[in-house]
Structure 1
Amino acid sequence: MKVVKFGGSSLANGEAFQNAINIITADSDRRVIVTSAPGKRFADDIKVTDLLITYANTVINDKDPHAIIEQIISRYQEIADYFALPAEKLAPLVERLQSLPDHPYPNNNYLMAAFKAHGERLNAQLMAIILRHLGYEARFVTPREAGITVTGTPNNASVIPETYAALSHFSFNDTELLIFPGFYGITLAGHIATFSRGGSDITGAILARGFNASVYENFTDVDAIYSANPNVVDHPQPIAKMTYREMRELSYAGFSVFHDEALIPAIQGNIPINVRNTNDPEKPGTLIVPDKDFQASDIVTGVVSGKHFAALYLHKYLLNKQAGFTLRILEILAKHDISYEHMPSGIDDITIILDRNSIDDQLVDVICNEIQEEINPDRLEWIDNYAITMVVGEGMRDRTGVIDDILMPLAQKNIAVPMINQGASRIAIMIGTYDKDADEAVRAIYHRFFVN
């Protein structure tokens, strides 16, 4: 059995739906289908999820939602019209969308989660209706029916282990297609809670593990995962095969093709992931596999840079002699619910790297003031224009001189490197640069390993 997930751009309109249906029906092993909400049909279009967020805010603010409801319905109506679907078959979707404000919600966060989740829910229901209309045996399955249970906050949920036991006992026949909405699960109290944005990837991986799939096929709008961002490097090399941990390292710094949290259920179930193009399904795409017995064909698999970082630099003489010094800093961060990304250090220095998107300027001043009072460093500096470049490859583990090969082209381009860090796995080297140099750093490193 294969689990197949389609992204929002792969289900944006009727033609995209038809492409997806052609893919589903071309392989009898494709039995479990996961849908995203309809994405953009053109550059300036609005995703259905964003329309649903507007709908939720309209209800929260006690405004008339009629116009936004009609706009959302029109997206599903367009798809239904493409398949000449009778109006009465779309009626249950319209009724459910209109009745969303009437449901009881513990608070507005739960309301928002429920509204957002309906982009996927309605699309899955519509996919099942269309497949049956075309003569296929298809069943729409909700997370509640399947037992996909979650904990956490309403808009950032996590699946619980009992889900996999429920899926292992889920009953279905040998010929039907099971159509699941992505992006959400059901809390223990019975409410809808969504995974983080892009969470349909997570649903697909949960189902792949729960049904012990032979492969999890993730269809999107690119031919493969590339060794560098095509917006930074012209025509980068596609990656034919990579490991889970390579994907995890690259996703962290900016590879956005595949949701990094979705790797976890797949890793736990040892399920290979195949990222493929809905518009060109004959291409093999990129296969993501366990690292056991993996034979790397290249030294470096990918190079990516993230510009959404900042750094807090502290210098204090004899820092290494002061017990609990780092703990006191971390306690200040924890008090303000700030997690740090990395903490390279020397005998008198610590650099704390943070996600700039998770901290505003006011909070920066607060934590800097508290660190100054608590630690009294000789120097305290906030670096706002930080970038991290990840150089990743299983082939780096047993190769000497890789760091020289990375740093030399940066030196030739006069790119400053305020931080370098290599993890114990030896498959990733992290380079800290300033954000103005980040793209040039990626191009220089890519050229060294892939062009030369």
Structure 2
Amino acid sequence: MKIVVKFGGSSLASAEQFKKVGKIIKKDEARKYVIPSAPGKRTPDDTKVTDLLYSCYGQAILEEDECEENFESLLAAIKKRYEEIISGLGLTLSLDDEFRTIRENFSKKIGRDYAASRGEYLNGIIMAAYLGYEFIDAAEVILFDAAGNFDAEKTDKLLSKRLAKTERAVIPGFYGSMPGGKIKTFSRGGSDITGSIVSKAVHADLYENWTDVSGFLIADPRIVRKPKSIDVITYRELRELSYMGATVLHEDAIFPVRKEGIPINIRNTNSPEDKGTLIVEGTCRKPRFVITGIAGKKDFASITVEKAMMNSEVGFCKKVLEVFDGNDISIEHMPSGIDTMTIFVHQDEFEEKEQKVIAGIHRAVEPDFLELESDLALIAVVGRGMRATRGTSGRIFSALAHANVNVKMIDQGSSELNIIIGVRNHDFETAVNAIYDIFVNTMI
């Protein structure tokens, strides 16, 4: 049995949190490979070490006396954070050499990715010393190509070979290296991806992702009061929810383990007895509710293109989409009818180029009518239980009508796994609560 465990920044923010993590790891002999994040916030008004590193590097690359003082102050604050953790754990570890190297590399303006990665790197050294595990620098085993894209195939071969000789190891999350050794990071939250990559490389039986919440919730607790948790969710459901704003797990962390059929378990470091949420390829378990989750985003604009006999005009949709592509505008959603198609885009991306897009569409397809709307929100209602349940869309319409929410758009994917609803920004929270209430509260 092999379990890979990843711990988020809040789980490793202090010596006290480190001790909780140590107990969790030692409780199960199968927890052989550990992926730590950089120390997070100790209190709500605290600063994450990664953010301190970004600020510190920002001061280092400026050549003013005041910036030199700020750099020294920030570097000292970062070093103090780690020394407090080391002292609290009773370790005789010194990071003086590492901080000398960091100072030299910052002065050489080696790059923001290098600066940000040092949070995980240093925490990995401490974690390895605390557990008595081997430390493996992620720069040696997580590879990116010359263009900065993650090289999955080379990484898997190298990492598999390295870990086959290592029974227990700590591999820092979030970063790797490009040809020549330059440090490259994933996007924020990328330690989740590292954990997934390591899980695939060692053919893990389970990937545990420990954070400060007991798994996924059906809805955002900032919108819905005390939403229920999700026991089991499929990769496909998670992908839909992550894309629409659910942020417990980095959405790209799904892909490496999905190929191997390795389940992910989202757990709570502060409540280790909670089972959390299990993320799987597929399951025969019936969900507690018809829906698995609700997620959404605000601030979209829609462009509706109408033309008689549009469906018989070969290449019509392609021509319209090429206008957006030519203006570097990404498309979020695209419902269509017989003579109409509507494109949803991020409003802030679209506003400054809207007249170019309008002119481009007129030239490309000569529409009969073109309409713009702004300040829209998209809500995804996701659930494998919807396939076997009649009238799901009708219940959504009923719930929103009862809450006096005007539906601008509703679209169900052919997989019957999700339904996308468009509403006004100001109706977003009301709509999410109404949908949650009809599918969860009325079923309890």
TM-score (ref. length: structure 2): 0.92
Report deviation, 1:224: 2.0
Tell me the equivalent position of 1:73: 79
Tell me the equivalent position of 2:182: 191
Q: Deviations over 1:295-323 (max 9, x none)?
A: 44432111222224332222333333433
- Written as runs of structure 1 = structure 2, the 5 A alignment for 1:299-314 is 299-314=290-305
Report deviation, 1:348: 2.6
**In structure 2, distance between residues paired with 1:384 and 1:117:** 39
Report deviation, 1:77: 1.9
Report deviation, 1:35: 0.8
**In structure 2, distance between residues paired with 1:310 and 1:96:** 48
- SS of 2:297 mapped into structure 1: strand
Report deviation, 1:53: 1.6
**In structure 1, distance between residues paired with 2:97 and 2:24:** 27
**In structure 2, distance between residues paired with 1:365 and 1:116:** 39
Report deviation, 1:38: 1.1
**In structure 2, distance between residues paired with 1:78 and 1:13:** 8
State yes or no: 1:283 paired with 2:274: yes
**In structure 1, distance between residues paired with 2:153 and 2:199:** 14
Report deviation, 1:343: 0.9
State yes or no: 1:212 paired with 2:203: yes
- Written as runs of structure 1 = structure 2, the 5 A alignment for 1:31-70 is 31-62=32-63, 63-64=67-68, 65-70=71-76
C-alpha distance 324-60 of structure 1, shift in aligned 2 (>3 A): farther
Contact 1:151 1:160 in 2 (8 A): no
C-alpha distance 385-152 of structure 1, shift in aligned 2 (>3 A): farther
**In structure 1, distance between residues paired with 2:109 and 2:57:** 13
Tell me the equivalent position of 2:125: 125
Contact 2:195 2:207 in 1 (8 A): yes
Tell me the equivalent position of 2:242: 251
State yes or no: 1:260 paired with 2:251: yes
Q: Deviations over 1:2-22 (max 9, x none)?
A: 000011111111111111111
**In structure 2, distance between residues paired with 1:307 and 1:378:** 29
**In structure 1, distance between residues paired with 2:321 and 2:299:** 21
State yes or no: 1:426 paired with 2:426: no
C-alpha distance 352-32 of structure 1, shift in aligned 2 (>3 A): same
Counterpart of 1:144 (choices 125, 139, 144) is 139
For the aligned residue pairs, the C-alpha RMSD in angstroms reads: 2.1
Tell me the equivalent position of 1:10: 11
Residue identity matched to 1:13: S
C-alpha distance 48-240 of structure 1, shift in aligned 2 (>3 A): same
Q: Deviations over 1:106-154 (max 9, x none)?
A: xxxxx1111111111111112123x1xxxx4211111233x22123755
**In structure 1, distance between residues paired with 2:366 and 2:146:** 37
C-alpha distance 392-324 of structure 1, shift in aligned 2 (>3 A): same
C-alpha distance 208-308 of structure 1, shift in aligned 2 (>3 A): farther
State yes or no: 1:89 paired with 2:94: yes
Contact 1:390 1:431 in 2 (8 A): yes
Tell me the equivalent position of 2:380: 390
Tell me the equivalent position of 1:21: 22
Tell me the equivalent position of 1:435: 425
**In structure 1, distance between residues paired with 2:350 and 2:150:** 26
Q: Deviations over 1:302-351 (max 9, x none)?
A: 12222243322223333334332222222222223322122111223221
C-alpha distance 364-40 of structure 1, shift in aligned 2 (>3 A): farther
Tell me the equivalent position of 1:333: 324
Residue identity matched to 1:389: I
Tell me the equivalent position of 1:108: none
C-alpha distance 309-20 of structure 1, shift in aligned 2 (>3 A): farther
The count of aligned residue pairs is: 436
Contact 1:153 1:193 in 2 (8 A): no
**In structure 1, distance between residues paired with 2:346 and 2:185:** 22
Contact 1:34 1:182 in 2 (8 A): yes
Tell me the equivalent position of 1:448: 438
**In structure 2, distance between residues paired with 1:186 and 1:118:** 13
**In structure 2, distance between residues paired with 1:366 and 1:152:** 34
**In structure 1, distance between residues paired with 2:360 and 2:414:** 32
- SS of 1:433 mapped into structure 2: strand
C-alpha distance 406-422 of structure 1, shift in aligned 2 (>3 A): same
**In structure 2, distance between residues paired with 1:225 and 1:69:** 36
Residue identity matched to 1:245: R
C-alpha distance 36-360 of structure 1, shift in aligned 2 (>3 A): farther
- SS of 1:170 mapped into structure 2: helix
**In structure 2, distance between residues paired with 1:66 and 1:261:** 36
Contact 1:69 1:97 in 2 (8 A): no
Contact 2:263 2:280 in 1 (8 A): yes
Gap regions ≥5 residues in structure 1: 106-110
- Written as runs of structure 1 = structure 2, the 5 A alignment for 1:362-401 is 362-401=352-391
420-429 or 329-338, which deviates more? 329-338
Residue identity matched to 1:114: Y
**In structure 2, distance between residues paired with 1:399 and 1:170:** 48
Contact 1:36 1:123 in 2 (8 A): yes
- SS of 2:440 mapped into structure 1: helix
**In structure 1, distance between residues paired with 2:320 and 2:133:** 56
Structure 1 segments of 4 or more deviating over 6 A?
none
- SS of 2:32 mapped into structure 1: strand
**In structure 1, distance between residues paired with 2:181 and 2:109:** 11
Report deviation, 1:200: 0.6
C-alpha distance 158-356 of structure 1, shift in aligned 2 (>3 A): farther
- SS of 2:51 mapped into structure 1: helix
State yes or no: 1:237 paired with 2:211: no
**In structure 1, distance between residues paired with 2:180 and 2:316:** 43
Contact 2:163 2:202 in 1 (8 A): no
Residue identity matched to 1:309: F
C-alpha distance 416-201 of structure 1, shift in aligned 2 (>3 A): same
Residue identity matched to 2:142: I
TM-score (ref. length: structure 1): 0.90
